[in-house]
Structure 1
């Protein structure tokens, strides 16, 4: 009986050791861009040191994870198609990655990665492309200019101060933007959901499909809005001094305007506004509406 118990104890110990996380450190340097493709759970840490630490449930998985620096970009790739069948129960689980970086100029994520950071980055220019089912949380960017592209079912939460910002959001993407911006150019399509909280001086907003865009915060000097399809726009809690609106399809806009407003609508679109702006021009079709809400 004691022998059987000893065998069970040894077996349990062996299984415990086998199940322990395997960790590997990659000594890489000289990058301010980050590119990841695959299924990863990534923590991005700003500091004076550089390098990558990867953790997996099986040491064999390291063979299918590639880490290298090309130009100024750190590349991380996990090719699950090459993982053997005896590891199939593990290949669909995210690989935990810690990336140490001095500054972040570009970010390119695809696949089904999740990236989290508590760090603030201050490049002169910043560019990000997020696609697939990827999510980014906690990113803070302070820069002169930034271009952020989201597609697929990706999501981002981003903070900071940017002088000139461009957002291109499509598919079923979600964006939570908490920023102070000088000039904003934002295009949304598909079934994207976008929430902006902060302020900007002026903006060009172009929406199509079934996009939902909500503005919150201190407000703006000037906004030009163009929406088609079945979009919904809400800036009732975001005062705008001067606003021009052009809607088509069955889109809806709820706006708060303080100085001047121009409105054009066709199809079955509706515009509701509050405030006491001067109405500089109105062109509304018979099945659309333009009305003030107290």
Structure 2
């Protein structure tokens, strides 16, 4: 967390009435969920606030959710200047600070561009990723002002394909995780999981799978369907698994259990330190429950 952002966050954290810093930690804050003085966070890097009552509350708050206004003016806070000579300054900051990514892993995957809405007469810097014959871009300056927070190149089609990092050779992996978004792919990449982005839950990547099958067969790897945990993601997970198995692919699934009003995706989990091996085991268990073909097999999974 850079100095200016840390100062603003630290000022706002006073609302939780933490005890004075001790050993690099802030403790004894009032948890908004249970109202107990069990909230704690790292004083130098207060990205995540956690309630210490794991059995009775255990709520987790990311600073972006608490103070979203601090994370929606990237071009203003991190401009390109003659001093830094970085045309991607805002995009870099958005990915590193806003998404928690290591930029060294992402070099060459994105550019900073600009989107202008002529109807609304407003614009925003974007983080753009090449996708097939076009691109996908995320608006990063107050995206709530626009109808959509992200755009595809006008007229392009992505159905049947997927996005993957250029440095990953899928012919050499034993598992491929199929997720919805590019940031989900990048988050999983940070913990050593090879993933591709379908760009929407209803996109079955038939063309991409056919190409991979032609290159190396369909028995060399397992497809782990890891779509979002909302009703649409869960329904299409089951549909895609059925279709892929009919085509000869070995399939598994992974699901993040959802709690509360805000949906948690793979990038959210990464920023909350919730992509450890134990967490992944839990997500795969919930995925196995989702795609279990019979009640008996589901019951056996739960029993075991």
Task: State the TM-score, normalizing by the size of structure 1.
Answer: 0.29
Task: State the TM-score, normalizing by the size of structure 2.
Answer: 0.28
Bigger radius of gyration among the two: 1
